[in-house]
Chains A and B, each alone.
Chain A
Amino acid sequence: MLLMLLPIIPLLGIFALRGTRGKSINIPFVVSSLTLFMGQQVLRHALGGNPLTYRLPVSGPYVPTFQADALSAVFVLLTAFLWWIVSIYSPEYMKHEGGTRRFEISTLLTLSAILGVFLAGDFFTLLLFFELMTVASFFWVVHRWNNEAIRAGYFYLFFSIAGGLLLALGIVLVGTATPGLLAVGAGPVTPTNPQAFSWGVAAIAAGFGIKAGMAPLHLWLPHAHSVAPTPASALLSGLLIKVGAYGLIRTGELVGWGLELGHAATWLGPALTLLGTCTMLVGVIAALLQSDAKRLLAYHSVSQMGYIILGLGVGLFLGKTGGLGLLGSIYHVVNHALFKAALFLGVGVIYVRTGETNLYNLGGLWRSFPVTAVLMFLAVLGITGAPGLNGYASKTLLHHAVSEAARTGLPLMVWAERLFLLVGVGTAASFAKLFYLTFLGKPTKLAISGGTSQRFHVSMAALALIMVGVGFRPKLFLEALAVPTARALGMETAAATIAGLSFWNTGDVVGMLITLGLGMVVCWIGLTTGAFHWTPPRWLTLEGLGKIVCYGLGAVSRTGEGYYRSAMELVSDIGSTIISRLLSACHRLDHSRDGTIGNITLAGISADAAILLVVLAVLIVFYAYMEFGLPRLRLPASLPTWLRIPFESVPCLIAH
């Protein structure tokens, strides 16, 4: 019951918003505080290993179910926390942006939807809140209602709808392949129809993958995240795409975490690894080439989601020994939420006061924004994985997992490990670029308006504090939250895997430092040679490819339609011609009189009547021929009987 209450609180908040029209009460803050508190109270048990479930007492094919295990609890608490932080930040920001009420409504709605997704106990409920989240967050994206926003909104909405539909398809396929109802958090299923199950899992993974920004389905993400108001971007990048990750973890659960190889969909692990690697790579390369700060961050969201997906893939691939992958992913989900939110918030601060997000127009801002610069620096360190900050911890875990996978010798995994390092360099390079161009570099000529609100600093500082805390005590979080989660997912061995693990070993630290160094070098080379201004040709980018494919499809469909149309026109033309010819022929026949056939003039009766008489005669003769062969050429040799008059048969009255 209380589980269901959690998503309802924000909805009540919307009503409260109606009631407090005109008063300056920060309803989202109140609501998220309440949610955070209640969530913590409700989910304590779930974290302790006692999952909660609640089924609504209704009849019919759909019984809404809510459940909370450790995984849900972690995500719910993370959500509530991040919302809380952002709701401190957003009122100030939205003063600048405008449309506060609309923003607050969609914020609350999205919160409700996300909580619902994380607390859903069956896939229908999950899908329900998933779709709700799509719609609610769509209003974030189109908040500005200008052409760019609407275009991004369409991108976002159509991709998300496709995701929802794919999820539905997956649910259908998996539902057909399994005997019972599909419940979230119920562990692996044994399919009766493995093929359908595989396809279903693929569809579900694709559906969540769209949300998670998994390449090649990430196209919507940079558009949507960069055009939304900054607090919304923070939440979109910090949390909404994590719904995809959550979904992928749950998908993995359908197949089974921590099982030996040979389960129902063994391809899922390698596939996710492959896609995760691609996502990382695509995201980071695209990020390097961006000039807009928010777009750069958005591409980094893609890239960081790649880390998470990679971790999941490796975890699934390794089966029983893949605990590190799963743990690393979950850990990275949390960390990414923290530093990506901080980064977006920082960029937002600069945007509020300078009105600019193009990196090449900024520079030397550390003088005007000292606090922001420091906090941003911490976040940059976090995302690049510098030792001592939270990113380091999760990236290290993920790296260990990938290395372990690479030890199997599978070329995919070997390449995954190599690319993992490469992406680390790329990340470092692009953030060096971001930080350098924004805060260092040549001072900008832009006018800086207004003063910095303390709320901005407080919210960012809170995030930074946690980042640093996690960075210094990486195992604390791991043992408190991630391990119970893995255990809840059936990965009993996870705790054992990390028992012997030390984050502060020289190899990792040195490796990371080398990566950072290389990143800075790359950044320097890029900035000096202008390589970051390179625009890839259309056929090389996915977006361009997509456009080409779309144009192609459009052309094909237009051609097809043209053919169809002309065929239909032909048919209807022929039809109408025949009909009109027929009718006019009838008309003429009816009105023609006194015609001439050959040299014979027919008077009084219409010519057509005469023709028809002839036709009738011919018809009769034809039938007669068919029946008797009447017009015999040879006459009978005997007496011609056919005109003999049978007098014998005449009854003669007089004769009697």
Chain B
Amino acid sequence: MTDLALALLSGAVGGILIGLTPRAGNRLRNIVALVFSAASTVFSWRVAGAVFAGRTIRISGEIAGLAWSLQPDPLGAVFGLIVSTLWLFAGVYSFGYMAGEHKQRTYYTYFLLAFSVTLGVAFSGNLLALYLFYELLTFATYPLVIHERTSEAMKAGAKYIIYSLSGAGAILIAIIIVYSWTGNLEFAGGPLLAGGGLRPGLGWVLALFVAGFGVKAAIMPLHRWLPAAMCAPTPVSALLHAVAVVYSGVYGILRVIYSVFGHELTGQLHVGRILPWVAAFTILAGVIIATQQDELKRRLAYHTVSQLSYILLGAFTLHPWGLAGAICHMISYSTLKVTLFFGAGIIAKRTGKVRVSEMSGVGWQLPRTMAAFGVASLGMIGMLPLNTFWSKYYLMRGGVATGKWQLALVLITSGLINAFCFIPTVVAAFAGERGQPTLETGSGTSLMLAPMLLLAGIALLTGLWPGLVWPGVDAVVDWFF
């Protein structure tokens, strides 16, 4: 319980502290940021450890007669682990990337605040707390989106806010309907709506939930804020728009399906049967659009859209294998995507190139960066020494086991299009003029490079030894099935 509170508070306290420190003094600020995010990470690991050990950790209270609670279950713990671990990496990367940028204080303040809020999403124990943190996340990350303060950034920020708030509105309606049916919003006691049978309007509620959370999870017609938000600094794009923020949407959908409706009830609804196909459409359309983008970060953004639906697809199969695949993909995709974004950031920072068509020869200037980038690209295809293979494998198994073998074909096709999406970039980077002096010098670059290489290494390691993350996946699947 103390761990839980500390995990949530560390980020917030750190953020406020940074907000109060004087404007100069980057070093001090970096130290504060590092210490508090490390503390938060450590505490959330402890929380997760306790959860996996089967202990119940709970903090609860009431607002206006409505109970809220924080009670991580294995799913929340896994999400918390992913987020907190990657936050540390992104923090270190930020030290390198943000050096010399403007408005660092604002950046780090909201960077840490967003950390707390995301952990709040992960550890929430009922729908109200989830909604609360979900909504707060929008505001905590808004200043990061508009960090550049250009008109483009401002527009993107407005788009982000409007999309997110509309989604939150849909969620609120759905929550209220659920509350009026059950009078209870807790996740802990099994699926909320499972006892009530097939009520009229259940499908609509599910659709509202999915549409609401789907905004952040970037389901296809609702994805447009995500590519726009790529004008944020790269660590933000990497962490928030590839992992934390978008995962909170995905997490919300997982919660709704497995904790609010329950997989049996969802399976009986028409909407529940349509959803896998929506995800499949997003997977293909997202990656096809991605291949046509010339700006690297936009390409990555559309690719994120596609990959998030992998997770959703797994969740929508309503099968243990599918869920295992979804959880696996949450873990593995995040490591690889962050690597890719880090790479894009290093390229942009060191060579000033942001377009794929300009990449020729970058590989010889930034050999290690591009190598890690290449490894991550292979992972996005789903090739074996990388951890995404396992998620893809279980996703396909889930699809096949529920009789929807077409889903497996969709995943295969998407893998191939992924190859078209990234491999030429990497190859072109090495195809150009050779013998240019390396640009991977200086402490700033090594601060960026180290997290990237480490993440790629983790991806390889977990790919070779999926047993490392399997207990977590297993625990989640056991929890819901």
Q: A60-B465, A154-B423 are in contact. Are A172 and B397 (CB under 8 A)?
A: yes
B405 at the interface (CB under 8 A from A): yes
The number of inter-chain residue pairs (CB within 8 angstroms) is 92
**Contact indicator A162/B416 (Cβ below 8 Å):** yes
Q: Any chain B CB within 8 A of the CB of A166?
A: yes
Q: Pick the contact of B465 from A62, A130, A166, A173 — CB < 8 Å?
A: A62
Q: Is there contact, CB below 8 Å, between B468 and A60?
A: yes
Q: How far in angstroms is the closest Cβ of chain B from A550? A: 11
Instruction: Assess whether B190 is interfacial by the CB under 8 Å rule.
Output: no
| B393 and A171 form a contact (CB under 8 A) | yes
Are B431 and A145 in contact, with the CB atoms below 8 A?
Answer: yes
The reply on B430 being an interface residue by CB < 8 A is: yes
| Interface of A (DSSP majority class) | helix
Give every chain B residue within 8 A of A62 (Cβ-Cβ). 390, 465-467
Q: Is A127 an interface residue (CB 8 A)?
A: yes
Is A196 interfacial (CB-CB < 8 Å)?
Answer: yes
CA distance A199 to B403 in the complex (A): 13
Closest Cβ of chain B to A326, distance in Å, is 29
Q: Is B467 touching A131 in the complex (CB atoms < 8 A)?
A: no
Whether A145 contacts B423 in the complex (CB less than 8 A), given A60-B467, A172-B408, comes out as: no
Asked whether A557 is an interface residue with its Cβ less than 8 Å from the other chain, the reply is yes
A130 to B384, CA, bound (A): 9
Query: Which B residues touch A128, using CB under 8 A?
Result: 384-385, 464
**How many residues of B sit at the interface, in one of the four size bands?**
20 to 34
Closest Cβ neighbor of A172 among chain B residues: B396
Q: Which of A58, A127, A135, A169 contacts B396 (CB 8 A)?
A: A169
A135 touches B384 (CB 8 A): no
Question: B382 contacts A59, CB within 8 Å?
Answer: no
B175 to chain A, nearest CB (A): 27
- Say yes or no: B416 contacts A127, CB within 8 Å: no
User: Are B415 and A127 touching (Cβ within 8 A)?
Assistant: no
Task: Check if A258 is an interface residue, CB within 8 A of chain B.
Answer: no
**Chain B residues within 8 Å of A171, by CB:** 393
A157 interfacial contact with B, CB 8 Å = yes
Q: Are A150 and B412 in contact (CB under 8 A)?
A: no
A122 CA to B423 CA, complexed, in Å = 28
* Contact assessment for B408 and A158 in the assembled complex, using a CB-CB cutoff below 8 Å: no
Asked if A557 meets B288 with Cβ closer than 8 Å, knowing A131-B383, A154-B424, A168-B396, the reply is yes
A60 touches B466 (CB 8 A): yes
A165 touches B427 (CB 8 A): no
Q: Is there an interface contact between A145 and B397, defined as CB atoms closer than 8 Å?
A: no
- What's the Cα separation between A173 and B384 when bound, in Å? 17
Q: Does residue B458 face the partner (Cβ distance < 8 Å to A)?
A: no
The answer to whether B192 has its CB under 8 Å from any CB of chain A is no
CB distance from B382 to the nearest CB of A (A): 7
Q: Taking the complex as formed, is A288 at the interface, i.e. its CB lies under 8 A from any CB of chain B?
A: no
Indicate whether B241 reaches chain A with its CB closer than 8 angstroms: no
- Contact between B400 and A135, CB atoms less than 8 A apart: no
A145–B430 contact, CB under 8 A? yes
Interface centre among A58, A134, A162, A165 (most CB of B within 10 A): A165
131-166 of chain A: CB within 8 A of chain B: 131-132, 134-135, 142, 145, 150, 153-154, 157-158, 161-162, 164-166
* Those of B199-256 within 8 Å (CB) of chain A: none
CB pairs A–B below 8 angstroms (28 shown): A60-B467, A61-B390, A61-B467, A61-B470, A128-B384, A128-B464, A131-B385, A132-B385, A145-B430, A145-B431, A153-B427, A154-B423, A154-B427, A157-B419, A161-B415, A165-B415, A168-B392, A168-B396, A172-B393, A172-B400, A173-B405, A175-B397, A176-B397, A176-B400, A196-B400, A196-B405, A199-B405, A561-B288
19 additional A-B residue pairs with CB within 8 Å, beyond A132-B385, A135-B383: A60-B470, A61-B390, A128-B385, A131-B383, A131-B385, A154-B424, A158-B419, A158-B423, A161-B381, A161-B383, A161-B416, A161-B419, A164-B384, A165-B382, A165-B412, A169-B409, A169-B412, A172-B400, A196-B405
**Shortest 7 CB-CB contacts between residues of A and residues of B:** A60-B467, A60-B470, A172-B396, A59-B467, A128-B384, A131-B383, A131-B384
